[in-house]
Amino acid sequence: MGGICGFCSDPVNFDGEVDLYHFDLHRAVGKGAFGKVRVVEHKKTQKLYALKYIDKARCIKQKAIANIIQERRLLEEIDHPFIVNLRYAFQDDENCFFVLDLMLGGDLRFHLERRGRMEEEIVRFWAAELASAVHYLHMQRIIHRDLKPDNILLDSMGHAHITDFNVAIHYSERRLHTSIAGSMAYMAPEVVGRKGYTWPVDWWSLGVVLWELLFHRRPFDGRTSEKMTHSILKDPLRFPSNVNEYVSKEGQDFLRGLLDRNPRTRLGCRNGRTNGMDDIHDHPWFSSIDWDSLENKESQPHFVPDMKKANFDVTHELDEFLMVDKPLTHSKRKVNPDLEKMKPELRQLEEQFTVYDFTKTKRMSYYPHNQPIVTSNHQDDLEPATVLPSATNTLVPTATVIERSQAGSPVMDFDRSQACSPPLQTIVTDECMHSRHSS
């Protein structure tokens, strides 16, 4: 009778397909556009995970079905020590569920707001871990497109992990993308300038993140989207006057290398996709990093979150306690739903948001198989790359699903330049999910 829980009449079938009954629900630790993030415990293994659940009705209303399916597929492809990895995926009649590695150390936006700027040795260690993750994603032909402090989570030891693949896409070797996706303050010049872009944009975004961690402000800013765009495209990179008190010459050089407006000469991008990490490994700023030890998580981070305190906004729990939100409950699915009678969007979720169980399923790639594998267009200037046109020039705001609540903050309300910048919502045009390398 070990599978029977307190008030349940049916035992949990751990040999069957994974569902919500396999988990005990604990506290809420995050809130996004379509649902929340809860700590859950697998009843059989007693392992703790983060459960990200997405309300299907809200998802349909905001026309985000393609994003959710895309995120689900991309997460199945990746497994890396510095990424928040997918462990299970399933759905019930109301929600889609992602069960992910649990990160109780909080996101870097949370710590920036509480600590202010971070010491160089702390940031250098995270930079090495994040560079390792970014390179891994690019080797899987994935661009994250939304690297920012909000989307970097710490585990209880202080290791950094990239999360939120809601606007991530596969890139093509032959075609550049032009869709605007991500959070504007972290977008590379080739994105806001609509020149066409590919994987080097993530290295630029990483540079902006590191700058913000070190100086508690961003390198390029503006109160409107026009001023922000001009700043990213034209403003000189200006270090604070007392920069030498905060960051070594090597660190300054590393930041300059990432924040190079030319993607062909940007640090991490100079030798084409496969060798770009050599630039990072060999950079003097990382001379103290043992990369093998780092990637095995044997190196000790220089910042360890205080686990005696909540490293997240505790109002998420209060919302549920006060019944502001409908509480998540275990519910049985309708038996054999009639796909023909379903709304097209619900049917699409039913068919494409498939069950995933990391203990039973091998990770696989959904990368389009008809793509020729050739050298990156940043390496080969002899043949100009095709640019994927944007279907619209209108910016459509959408909050990143796993972000902490940012209700009411207008997408284009950018900060006053000197102060620590508030979180920005993610921007995505509707082309970004529909132009996945159609031949």
Which residue bears the tokens 């044997």?
298
Question: Is the CA virtual torsion 190, 195, 199, 200 positive or negative?
Answer: negative
| Closest residue by Cα to residue 426 from 173, 67, 126 | 67
Is there a contact between 161 and 152 (Cβ–Cβ < 8 Å)?
yes
Spatial distance between the Cα atoms of 355 and 50, rounded to a whole number of angstroms: 17
Is there a contact between 400 and 33 (Cβ–Cβ < 8 Å)?
yes
φ and ψ at 76, to 5 degrees?
-70, -20
Helices (H) and strands (E) in the chain, counts: 13, 15
Which residue bears the tokens 């689900």?
72
**3-class state of residue 138 by DSSP:** helix
Which one from 55, 92, 101, 146 is the annotated catalytic residue? Answer: 146
Tokens of 186: 């972290």
**Segment (H or E) for 95:** strand 95-101
- Pairing outcome for strands 152-154 and 95-101: unpaired
| Closest residue by Cα to residue 303 from 147, 162, 123 | 123
Spatial distance between the Cα atoms of 341 and 376, rounded to a whole number of angstroms: 45
Tokens of 426: 């993610």
Is there a contact between 89 and 99 (Cβ–Cβ < 8 Å)?
yes
Residue 49 β-bridge partners: 40, 101
Is there a contact between 122 and 303 (Cβ–Cβ < 8 Å)?
yes
| CA-based max dimension of the chain | 69
Which residue bears the tokens 């765009």?
229
Spatial distance between the Cα atoms of 306 and 157, rounded to a whole number of angstroms: 9
| Annotated catalytic residue 146 | yes
Residue 53, Cα to own-chain centre: how many angstroms?
A: 16
Residue 154 β-bridge partners: 160
SS3 content of the chain, % helix, strand, coil (to 5): 30, 15, 55
Is 52 annotated in a binding site? The answer is: yes
| Closest residue by Cα to residue 177 from 220, 226, 142, 147 | 142
Binding-site residue numbers are 52
Residues marked active site are found at 146
Binding-site residue numbers for ATP are 52
